[in-house]
A and B are shown apart, each in its own frame.
Chain A
Amino acid sequence: MMAIFTFARLTLFEARRKRILFAAILCGVAFLVVFATGVFLAWRELLRRQISFVERQGLLVMFTLAGLYAANFLSVLFAVLLPVDAVSGEIDSGVMQTLASKPVRRADVVLGKWLGHWIVVAMYLMTLSGGVLLVSRSITGFVPPSVVGAISLMLLEVTLLMTVSIAGGTRFSTVTNGIASLGFYGIAFVGGWVEQIGALGGIQSARTLGVVVSLISPADSLWRLASYNLQPAFVRDLGAVVFTSASVPTPLMVWWAGGFTLVMLVVAVRSFEKRQL
């Protein structure tokens, strides 16, 4: 257990020393500044117009969800790319030979790196999504419902993708792993849209395909469930925003994604234990 924390601490230390955190926070702040400016200008325009309460709420939901969508997407990329060479890079460079010769379990190496990266990724997601919500609340006074639950789903999504990236690093080279991990998310992304379009158009085969893809790569379904929960009931009923979920993942998908993440973590440990260094 001690070794896990030692590796996690090294990961955090490196993230700080290599200015990864600094760069991430700087980009996050830039993103929030752009978002805040956009929301401020839009809100000022909305106040000038004579529009109904429902229309205004619909637009506020759309703005906030757009911000959270961007925050989620950036966090997904961050979660995949940050640990993409955490294991494979150190195997290629030979660093891992020194580490694995120490009196530690190979599982400690993987779990320590997983924990360290998870803390960084979670901080990044919290900063971006918390910033979006704060900006929205400060300028417009709008706070979407089920914020905690929705951010928890987004956190599970990035955790899943980060775990896939770490697991891939125990088997593949850095470049291969990066392509495979982003491809894994890409499949989920496309599958989600196929499911949505299938539901909107009443095409059952497309919807079924989307559901199957979500089972194989459940990341995007977590965002869709989060975005559904973030919409007030009357906005959902109106179908007034672009993030309308025509096909809403069931809560069982959360358990599926949680189990999937756990299985991927076990795969990462087992794969690294068998890896010839």
Chain B
Amino acid sequence: MSERVGPPEGGPYVDGGPDVIETDGLHKMFGRTLAVEDLSLSVGRGEIFGFLGPNGAGKTTSIKMLLALVTPTGGRGLVLGKPLGDRATRARIGFLPEHFRFHDSLTGRELLRFHGRLHRLAGLPLEARIDTLLARVDLIEAADRRLRGYSKGMLQRIGLAQALINDPELVFLDEPTSGLDPLGRLLVRDMIAELRDRGTTVFLNSHLLGEVEATCDRVAFVKQGRVVHAMALREESQCVDVELRVAPLDAATLTGLAQFGTDVTQVSADVVRLRAASEDAVPAIARWLVARHLNVYALHGRRRTLEEWFLDIMGDDQRPG
């Protein structure tokens, strides 16, 4: 069982108490097929948490285990402080599945009313909530049209509205921007930001790394059914990859450069790379090199994108899913 990856001390999310999600070694087999080997993570209250991995890595199955749609074959987990599958707890959770589908003979308003009733909402409060959500997802004009006439993007937006009908404390969004045009994606991004402002925890599963980078506080990478790495984005995004060309490049210089960062690697006879904690390391390195009377031909630092992190963590043994 791997070490559980949780929020770091003083992380960027709003810490409002105990973790909203805590899992330890959750495991799922479908017959002889391993879907999730070890889901060990924790998600803090108010956090926007990104769950990343290639196709077939077990992301959707992980969400389904947390929602008790599938039963784990091993491990344990708590959601909102209660064991997986607790019915009362589900009243505090919202869920937008990947490829949201529903009875297409209903109108958008009827769909939200039906889901509201399953949350024991009724009467004027429910109708007011429906109107608010329809306006928020820009579907007021289509509210009384049947779902079979909705575009893919409209279906995704009404699905997002149903996930929020109960004003949940925790929302699972499985590929929420799938099928959305740029404006639709922007709307979802804004809604996630609003949820953060309200203190709602969001568990976001998305392939769109740019979206995740723009919205999430922290991400976990899942590979072959196992959480292999988690990191706070705003901390890690400060990191820069530094590359310099300097001569002479001897062992003493390489050792000295290690004070400015990690992963010091000599690429060629006069080129070296390292990873620094912030951009401030770049001028510091320049001053240090000049003080040692070394010839500096090039020096530049570049922030790593989430995509680079993703490719680095997943390694080159992955193939497109």
CB of A272 to closest CB in B, whole Å: 12
- Known A-B contacts A95-B101, A277-B70; A104 and B106 likewise in contact (beta carbons under 8 Å): no
Q: Are B114 and A6 in contact (CB under 8 A)?
A: yes
Interface string of A4-45 (1 = CB under 8 A from B): 001000100110011000000000000000000000000000
Q: Give the contacting residue for B118; candidates A6, A14, A97; CB below 8 A.
A: A6
Q: Give the contacting residue for A98; candidates B71, B97, B117, B119; CB below 8 A.
A: B97
Q: Are B87 and A18 in contact (CB under 8 A)?
A: no
CB of A105 to closest CB in B, whole Å: 7
Q: What residues of chain A lie closer than 8 Å to B13, measured between beta carbons? A: none
Q: Give the contacting residue for A276; candidates B30, B99, B103, B120; CB below 8 A.
A: B30
Q: Are B30 and A99 in contact (CB under 8 A)?
A: no
Q: Are A17 and B70 in contact (CB under 8 A)?
A: no
Which chain A residues in 46-105 approach chain B with CB under 8 Å? Answer: 93-95, 97-105
Q: Does B289 contact A (CB under 8 A)?
A: no
Q: How far is the CA of A156 from the CA of B91 in the complex (A)?
A: 37
Q: How far is the CA of A100 from the CA of B118 in the complex (A)?
A: 10
Q: Give the contacting residue for B99; candidates A94, A99, A103; CB below 8 A.
A: A94
Q: Give the contacting residue for A3; candidates B93, B105, B110, B118; CB below 8 A.
A: B118
Q: Are B95 and A14 in contact (CB under 8 A)?
A: no
- Known A-B contacts A14-B105, A18-B105; A100 and B114 likewise in contact (beta carbons under 8 Å): no
Q: How far is the CA of A276 from the CA of B117 in the complex (A)?
A: 24
Q: What residues of chain A lie closer than 8 Å to B159, measured between beta carbons? A: 98
Q: Does A2 contact B (CB under 8 A)?
A: yes
Q: Are A94 and B101 in contact (CB under 8 A)?
A: yes
Q: Are B102 and A97 in contact (CB under 8 A)?
A: no
Which chain A residues in 98-117 approach chain B with CB under 8 Å? Answer: 98-105
Closest to A104 in B: B118
Q: Does B245 contact A (CB under 8 A)?
A: no
Which chain B residues in 81-112 approach chain A with CB under 8 Å? Answer: 87-91, 93, 95, 97-103, 105-106, 110
Q: What residues of chain B lie closer than 8 Å to A103, measured between beta carbons? A: 87-91, 118-120
CB of B68 to closest CB in A, whole Å: 8
CB of B289 to closest CB in A, whole Å: 57
CB of A97 to closest CB in B, whole Å: 5
Q: What residues of chain B lie closer than 8 Å to A102, measured between beta carbons? A: 90, 115, 118-119
Q: Are B64 and A277 in contact (CB under 8 A)?
A: yes
Q: How far is the CA of A277 from the CA of B70 in the complex (A)?
A: 6
Q: Does B1 contact A (CB under 8 A)?
A: no
Q: How far is the CA of A95 from the CA of B100 in the complex (A)?
A: 7
Q: Are B103 and A95 in contact (CB under 8 A)?
A: yes
CB of A11 to closest CB in B, whole Å: 10
Q: Does B162 contact A (CB under 8 A)?
A: yes
- Known A-B contacts A17-B105, A17-B106, A104-B118; A98 and B100 likewise in contact (beta carbons under 8 Å): yes
Q: How far is the CA of A190 from the CA of B143 in the complex (A)?
A: 52
Q: Does B34 contact A (CB under 8 A)?
A: no
Query: Which of B97, B110, B119 has the largest number of chain A CB atoms within 10 A?
Result: B97
Q: Give the contacting residue for A10; candidates B69, B70, B100, B103; CB below 8 A.
A: B103
Q: Are B106 and A101 in contact (CB under 8 A)?
A: no
CB of B85 to closest CB in A, whole Å: 10
Q: What residues of chain A lie closer than 8 Å to B106, measured between beta carbons? A: 13-14, 17
Q: Give the contacting residue for B97; candidates A2, A10, A17, A97; CB below 8 A.
A: A97
Q: What residues of chain B lie closer than 8 Å to A18, measured between beta carbons? A: 105
Q: Give the contacting residue for B67; candidates A3, A101, A276; CB below 8 A.
A: A101
Nearest 4 CB-CB pairings of A with B: A103-B91, A17-B105, A102-B118, A277-B69
User: 18 A-B Cβ contacts within 8 A?
Assistant: A6-B114, A6-B117, A6-B118, A13-B110, A14-B103, A94-B101, A95-B101, A95-B102, A98-B102, A101-B67, A101-B69, A102-B90, A103-B87, A103-B90, A103-B91, A104-B118, A274-B71, A276-B70
Q: Which residues of A pack against B, CB within 8 Å?
A: 2-3, 6, 10, 13-14, 17-18, 93-95, 97-105, 274, 276-277
